[in-house]
Amino acid sequence: MGFSAHAWWLLAPGQPLVQRELRLQEPGPGQAVVEVLACGLCHTDLGYADGSVPPKHALPLVLGHEVVGKVVAAGEGAEHLIGQSVIVPAVLPCGKCAYCKAGRGNACPKQVMPGNDDHGGFATHLLVPAAPLQPVGQLAVGDLRALSVVADAVSTAWQAVRRAQLQAGDVAFVVGSGGVGSFVVQIAKALGAAVVALDTSESRLSAALALGADIAVAVAGRPGKEVKAQAQGFAKQRGVDSLNWRIFECSGAAAGQQLAWSLLGRCATYVQVGYCAQPVELRLSNLMAFDGTALGSWGCPPEQYPPVLDLIASGQVQLAPLVDYAPMSQVNELLGAMAGHQLTKRMVLDPLT
């Protein structure tokens, strides 16, 4: 019989999403149908919608990859999840390949990303692999819908900090302190690092300070050398050698990547978190000359979600100040606002309104 869902479809790049029916098949072994409580709106969705980033699934496609909801049906082996509230990770690995067994399931070649590899969360229901789903239990967060952003923004930040092997006493430079960067700020601070937030927006810098950043470095309209001197000067004043610098590029902008790269010091670690479609010119010899480390970070393996949820439960990572809610019916207007840089919070969309 299957399930009948309502969904907002991308039919062609650059065109408004259209509300239509989505037919889902009955879940097979190891699959689950999730009734969507909320789905976050990510800049990646804008890239798919405007055509600047082609999704892997052919159009038409239902976008959306930050989902929290309830399991309403499950196939063989996943029946225990029925009735549970769950986060649907943005990266759903197979759990069986060499990458998954090595703890690198976020890079699984067979991974499924809702709203990219298959239909996503801009819908009332979606069909997904069951094993990676993350039950949220009795986690007290006020509005359960806020947990949708854990599926990408928060868990991606956690994975980036893990990749950097950040330790207490390190200095974390967060270039692009909004979005994912706002959660890198909080997680790095929770783990005992001193945090330098760098951004072009005064409002995002103020928010970063409120979330625990030790210093905010304004970037807009300033020479790069001056920005670099202020940011690195903070670390030097604290007596932290560049061996213990962790640089997180979260802006997703060419200028942000160039700035973050310029912060490299002797034996420092650079982590690329943001996505930028355009090529960026960097002097790779800096990596050689400083004996530095450069890492990429994509998504988060599902087994790393419990410590993320622990940080939220303890209050060390806050969601409420950074999210706002809107009906899914406003998705086109919100995509336009995102394109115009008019959104100040991460929007969480309710598919029933």
How far, in Å, CA of 331 to CA of 41, rounded?
A: 8
Same domain, 91 and 27: yes
Q: What is the domain-level CATH number for residue 320?
A: 3.90.180.10
Same domain, 16 and 146: yes
Same domain, 182 and 138: no
Q: Show the beta-strand stretches assigned E in the chain.
A: 3-10, 18-24, 31-40, 61-62, 66-74, 85-88, 125-129, 134-135, 171-175, 194-199, 215-218, 245-249, 269-272, 293-296, 323-327, 346-350
Q: What is the pLDDT of residue 1?
A: 65
Is residue 136 in some structural domain?
Answer: yes
Q: How confident is the model at residue 352 (pLDDT cuts 50, 70, 90)?
A: confident
Same domain, 172 and 244: yes
Please check whether residue 104 is in contact with residue 296, taking contact to mean a CB–CB distance below 8 angstroms. no
Same domain, 7 and 140: yes
Is residue 87 in some structural domain?
Answer: yes
- pLDDT tens-digit map of 50-80: 999 999 999 999 999 999 999 999 999 999 9
Percent of the chain with pLDDT over 90: 95
Q: What is the domain-level CATH number for residue 205?
A: 3.40.50.720
How far, in Å, CA of 311 to CA of 124, rounded?
A: 29
Calculate the average pLDDT of the chain.
96
Using the 3D structure, point to which of 254, 281, 296 is the last residue of a domain. Answer: 296
Mean pLDDT of the region 256-261:
98
Same domain, 50 and 99: yes
Closest by alpha carbon to 273, among 181, 167, 345, 183? 181
* Residue 171 reports pLDDT greater than 80: yes
Same domain, 276 and 199: yes
Q: How confident is the model at residue 293 (pLDDT cuts 50, 70, 90)?
A: very high
Sheet holding 61-62, edge to edge: 18-24, 3-10, 61-62
Q: How confident is the model at residue 346 (pLDDT cuts 50, 70, 90)?
A: very high
Placement of tokens 């807009």 in the chain: 220
Please check whether residue 68 is in contact with residue 136, taking contact to mean a CB–CB distance below 8 angstroms. yes
Is residue 77 in some structural domain?
Answer: yes
Same domain, 248 and 115: no
Is residue 315 in some structural domain?
Answer: yes
Q: What is the pLDDT of residue 139?
A: 79
Is residue 31 in some structural domain?
Answer: yes
- pLDDT tens-digit map of 231-245: 999 999 999 999 999
Using the 3D structure, point to which of 260, 276, 296 is the last residue of a domain. Answer: 296
- pLDDT tens-digit map of 106-158: 999 999 999 999 999 999 999 999 999 999 987 777 899 999 999 999 999 99
Using the 3D structure, point to which of 255, 274, 296 is the last residue of a domain. Answer: 296
Full residue range of the structural domain in which residue 209 is found: 163-296
Same domain, 12 and 143: yes
Same domain, 216 and 308: no
Same domain, 18 and 65: yes
Total domain count, the chain:
2
Q: pTM for this structure?
A: 0.96
Closest by alpha carbon to 249, among 352, 177, 327? 177
Characterize the bridge pairing of strands 125-129 and 293-296: unpaired
- pLDDT tens-digit map of 263-286: 999 999 999 999 998 899 999 999
Same domain, 184 and 212: yes
Please check whether residue 108 is in contact with residue 100, taking contact to mean a CB–CB distance below 8 angstroms. yes
Is residue 157 in some structural domain?
Answer: no
180, two tokens: 């994912």
Mean pLDDT of the region 83-90:
97
Is residue 345 in some structural domain?
Answer: yes
Mean pLDDT of the region 170-181:
97
Is residue 158 in some structural domain?
Answer: no
